[in-house]
Structure 1
């Protein structure tokens, strides 16, 4: 942790290497002592960012925009790391998510223009998070959870870093919440699927059976996404398909019933092959 402070954080403007590190460590040690922390080592994962004085000391040297990152993704009562640990007792028992996020923050927040590669490697994340005799698998699991849930965490080539801009995945998830299935998604799907043609005489997308003509034409009926297919459990797609086959709205399929009552005829190609073999 001292190497990170002396090497990485001292590259920031207004950060005095010796005085700045001593001031940070004084706040860290006092906060940990006040909270009765019993960790055998003060590591990057031990940083008490839930403490306002400690957090402000770190964010003071960073560009604007880091307070929401800490509050939402790293530490504090509303942080996503706390929510994950509250739902998983294994991770919560050792504060695996918070320790992992703190380590990534310490190693990646001080970014400079001369930095060629962003982020810190997974091995260093585990080294700064796990305490002696703890299982590394817990922190590897925590890192995977953070990658799926956090808003500002980025990763590439087994390196991890925080940024003040939301990552692409979370930005996509946030945008998806703006759209509703029936009002936005279904009409777009219908518009694109209606362009299907090929061998079908008609394509009927998300329509009821009453809107499908009762004729001899080969037609494609596309079920709506709210009738999904499932190999196990209730199969809404199969039930919907059977419902369409049984009746056309409130009436029966006249041509289909007529077709079923006709004697089965052998296809022309089949008869031609039989004649050829018999000759």
Structure 2
């Protein structure tokens, strides 16, 4: 049943290692994605207790393990995305077939079929992911979105076609004074042969507990509204980026706005004491 289910989902059976008083190990190879070598190897163990007629009494099927998963972390990101979009649903489908085929043989004393589908849609490695756009155009759109929302561009670290670079901004604590809260956008990038994003992924980086410039008497009112102004400006910047860049999103992915952290300007939490044993 296990072998048939995985073969139906695009896997090739490599071996079944059955040893006395040990778990049986099913080894499968995923051949449905020809771009990678070596192929993903899937190992599944089953603890089998048989009656006198060699029937399960009971048998326990464990979760699948991608034995050589670490080898694929060095692949280009787009290749990793394509492979995951095929491999993970294929494993889910195999378990769904096992659940359906084995329903009449399931021991009711052990409850329902204990497997949760692992594929929940495309997930980016870093943040919002864009392809096919020039790096300079991407940075221009990001800087413009934050500038129009009230952030002040400070500097850009790293040059053209860097694997990682930082766009740094200040958000004014007191609009009448220079300086403010430090806010950074990180761009992690890989490129195609024409030098365009393939993909480029952006993430925000800021410390809500950072030490802010002194407010002074004139800045007390501005400090009281700091977090609400920052939250509104941040949301406006993201919405502008959504409108300007959504057409360049990596296929299958969606534009997302990460949840906010603590209120900007909050006191830093005290470190938790180490437990004494």
| Pairwise same-fold verdict (TM > 0.5) | no
TM-score (norm 2): 0.24
Question: Which protein is bigger by CA-based radius of gyration?
Answer: 1
Higher relative contact order (CA 8 A, sep 6+): 2
TM-score (norm 1): 0.24
Structure with the higher strand share, 1 or 2:
2
Structure with the higher helix share, 1 or 2:
1
